[in-house]
Amino acid sequence: MPKPVSRRELIRRFQELGWDGPFPGGRHALMRNPLTGVKVPVPNPHRGDIDWSLTKRILDQAGIAHEAWKQAGK
């Protein structure tokens, strides 16, 4: 079972993969892919680490493959 990831780590990996942000949004900050214009929400930091199931849903919205995500974590 994959481990939860911190908000800071989520943002760091997105930036490593070429995403911009986080930018202020409605209820959540947003990360934006400058090449495609795709925007995905970044959960607020109040509740501790982000569960892997939510991280997986965010990655699916962003179109980021699991292997690319793991590679960005190294």
Q: Where residue 37 sits, what CATH number does that domain have? A: 3.30.920.30
Q: Is 64 a domain residue?
A: yes
Give tens-digit pLDDT for 22-73. Answer: 999 888 899 999 999 999 999 987 778 999 999 999 999 999 998 999 898 7
Q: What angle do CA 63, 72, 18 make, to 5 degrees?
A: 60
Report residue 1's pLDDT band, with 50, 70 and 90 as the boundaries.
low
The whole domain housing 59 covers: 7-72
Q: How far apart are CA 47 and CA 15, in angstroms?
A: 22
What integer pLDDT is reported at residue 45 of this predicted model? Answer: 76
Q: Is 2 a domain residue?
A: no
- Note the pTM of the prediction, 2 decimals: 0.89
Torsion angles phi and psi, residue 20, rounded to 5: -100, 155
Q: Is 29 a domain residue?
A: yes
* pLDDT above 90 for 9: yes
Q: How far apart are CA 74 and CA 70, in angstroms?
A: 7
CA-based nearest residue to 4, from 55, 66, 40:
55
pLDDT, mean of residues 9-29: 92
